[in-house]
């Protein structure tokens, strides 16, 4: 087994480090597909006796082994032999990687997970990235530790956000007037009370004097400074029952990517992550990968909680709403779910909060609702993803 690393850098030096990153991501996102020219089933068959090889070729048998893990009588004995063959094949494959007989690019991470699920989970548990596996009748659910988010987050960014300009870091600039060395686009007369010498536009000042036929500077013009201040982000993740499957994976990926981008941009900003259905719950860093969809959808309640959080904070408030469909529940029994969501979006405008809606659904009523909320809040943006698992391809609308 792979011993738990002392640090991230040391682990990356290990031959299997990169592969383990990719295997961890493939466990989290079973929809992600890689191509590989190495067939792991051939290695498993090497350790199977002839009478068991035909079972390995049977997809029903392999799926039953992974999901149920038990048979009676004769099949129990055969299953034990099959699992032994898998363990031996997995150990040999790791040895082949360490010796360079097989390269990482020859392997498909998702194929390895499909064939060596138990072995991979056990190694990742020993490496400190998985807490435990929760067995259920039709599937097994992996519970991740907090450190797994960093690895999966890096993978998400490398896949989905690699084309973003990584140079845009530092303070968040707003259009508020204030004292700052960050120059805006508006040109005003120089005021030593609010402008620094960095704000002076010497070329514009000389040009205006020349137009007037003056040889000296009668008026000095400056660029109106932008105000640099802290941003407070509230991320609302829909975990209602309709988010099952690809949507919850896409929502978690979007949330992790946003969090990583925010943290890379500035260390002074604050981020609060909330999961909502018909209730709203604060999400700790070690919980986001383990979110599971259930319950009804109350967007109004989620926006209300975000507004309450921002009302207690100083700085520019930015709300990210990640959802797949119109609300089905309202915290106010006197108001419909739709009207409740619209009302709360309008209330965000009163505290000058920005609303960023990440849409993982394309139903006409949901699009209409999100458009209405964005218009009422003002200074908002809609991000529409036709494929929840493709964060590069989206339609953007500004309001």
- Return the number of other C-beta atoms located less than 10 Å from residue 115's C-beta: 22
Position 164 in a domain: no
Please write the tens of the pLDDT for every residue from 244-297: 999 999 999 989 888 887 887 777 889 999 999 999 999 988 899 999 999 999
- Whether residues 35 and 70 share a domain: the answer is yes
Position 339 in a domain: yes
* pLDDT at residue 234 tops 90: yes
Position 2 in a domain: no
What pLDDT score was predicted for residue 175?
44
- Whether residues 193 and 276 share a domain: the answer is no
Position 170 in a domain: no
**Residues linked to residue 173 through DSSP beta bridges, in sequence order:** 228
Instruction: Report percent pLDDT > 70 for the chain.
Output: 72
Q: How many domains does the chain have?
A: 3
Position 289 in a domain: yes
pLDDT classification of 66: cutoffs 50, 70, 90: low
CATH code, 369? 3.40.50.410
- Whether residues 293 and 190 share a domain: the answer is no
Position 123 in a domain: yes
Position 162 in a domain: no
- Whether residues 186 and 244 share a domain: the answer is no
pLDDT classification of 172: cutoffs 50, 70, 90: very low
- Whether residues 243 and 220 share a domain: the answer is no
Rounded to an integer, the average pLDDT of 149-172 is 63
- Whether residues 254 and 391 share a domain: the answer is yes
Which among 228, 252, 269 is the end of a domain? 228
What pLDDT score was predicted for residue 164?
44
220: which residues sit within 8 A by CB, 6+ positions away? Answer: 189, 190, 200, 205
- Whether residues 258 and 206 share a domain: the answer is no
- Whether residues 243 and 198 share a domain: the answer is no
Give which of 331, 329, 389, 325 is closest to 357, Cα–Cα.
Answer: 325
- Whether residues 141 and 113 share a domain: the answer is yes
Three-state SS annotation for the chain:
CCCCCCCHHHHHHCCCHHHHHHHHHHHHCCCCCCCCCCCHHHHHHHCCCHHHHHHHCCHHHHHHHHHCCCCCCHHHHHHHHHHHHHHHHHHHHHHHHHCCCCCHHHCCHHHHHHHCHHHHHHHHHHCCCEEEEEECCCCEEEEECCHHHHHHHHHHHHHHCCCCCCCCCCCEEEEEECCCCCEEEEEEECCCCCCCHHHECHHHHHHHHHHCCCCCCCCCEEEEEEEEECEEEEEEEECCHHHCCHHHHHHHHHHHHHHHHHHHHCCCCEEEEEEECCCEEECCCCCHHHCCCCCCCCHHHHHHHHHHHHHCCCCEEEEEEEECCCCCCCCCCCCCHHHHHHHHHHHHHHCCCEEEEEECCCCHHHHHHHHHHHHHHCCCEEEECCCCCCCCCCEEEEC
Which among 145, 167, 195 is the end of a domain? 145
Please state, in angstroms and rounded to a whole number, the distance separating the CA atoms of residues 287 and 270: 18
Which among 228, 258, 287 is the end of a domain? 228
Q: Which of 1-5, 101-105, 283-287, 340-344 has the lowest mean pLDDT?
A: 1-5
Position 167 in a domain: no
- Whether residues 364 and 251 share a domain: the answer is yes
Expressed as residue numbers, the domain containing 32 is 8-145
| Pairwise pLDDT comparison (376 vs 206), residue with the higher score | 376
- Whether residues 73 and 195 share a domain: the answer is no
- Whether residues 137 and 253 share a domain: the answer is no
pLDDT classification of 96: cutoffs 50, 70, 90: very high
């Amino acid at each position: 087994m792979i011993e738990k690393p002392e640090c991230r850098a040391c682990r990356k030096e290990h031959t299997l480090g990169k592969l383990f990153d990719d295997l961890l991501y493939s466990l989290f996102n079973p929809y992600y597909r890689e191509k590989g020219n190495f067939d792991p089933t051939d290695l498993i068959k090497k350790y199977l006796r002839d009478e068991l090889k035909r079972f390995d070729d049977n997809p029903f048998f392999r799926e039953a082994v992974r999901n149920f893990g038990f048979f009676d009588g004769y099949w129990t004995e055969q299953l034990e032999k099959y699992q032994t063959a898998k363990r031996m094949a997995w150990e040999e494959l790791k040895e082949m990687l360490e010796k360079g007989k097989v390269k990482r690019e020859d392997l498909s991470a998702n194929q390895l997970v499909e064939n060596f699920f138990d072995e991979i989970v056990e190694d990742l548990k020993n490496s400190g990235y998985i807490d435990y596996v929760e067995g259920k009748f039709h599937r097994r659910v992996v519970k991740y530790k907090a450190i797994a988010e960093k690895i999966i987050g890096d993978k998400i960014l490398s896949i989905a956000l690699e084309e973003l300009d990584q140079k845009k870091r530092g303070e968040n600039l707003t259009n508020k007037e204030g004292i700052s060395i960050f120059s805006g686009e508006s040109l005003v007369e120089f005021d030593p009370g609010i402008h620094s010498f960095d704000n002076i536009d010497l070329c514009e000042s000389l040009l205006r004097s020349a137009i007037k036929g003056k040889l000296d500077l009668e008026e000095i013009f400056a660029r109106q400074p932008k105000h640099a201040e802290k941003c407070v982000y509230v991320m609302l993740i829909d975990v209602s029952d309709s988010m099952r499957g690809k949507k919850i994976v896409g929502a978690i990926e979007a949330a992790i990517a946003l969090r990583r981008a925010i943290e890379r941009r500035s260390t002074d900003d604050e981020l609060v992550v909330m999961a909502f259905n018909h209730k709203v719950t604060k999400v700790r860093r070690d919980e986001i990968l383990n979110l599971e969809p259930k319950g009804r959808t109350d967007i109004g309640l989620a926006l209300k909680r975000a507004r309450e959080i921002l009302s207690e904070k100083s700085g520019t408030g930015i709300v990210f709403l990640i959802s797949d469909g119109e609300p089905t529940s309202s915290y106010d029994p006197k108001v419909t779910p739709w009207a409740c969501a619209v009302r709360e979006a309008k209330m965000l405008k009163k505290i000058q909060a920005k609303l960023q809606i990440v849409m993982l659904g394309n139903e006409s009523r949901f699009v209409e609702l999100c458009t209405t909320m964005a218009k009422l809040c003002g200074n908002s943006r809609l991000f529409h993803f036709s494929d929840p698992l493709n964060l590069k391809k989206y339609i953007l609308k500004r309001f």
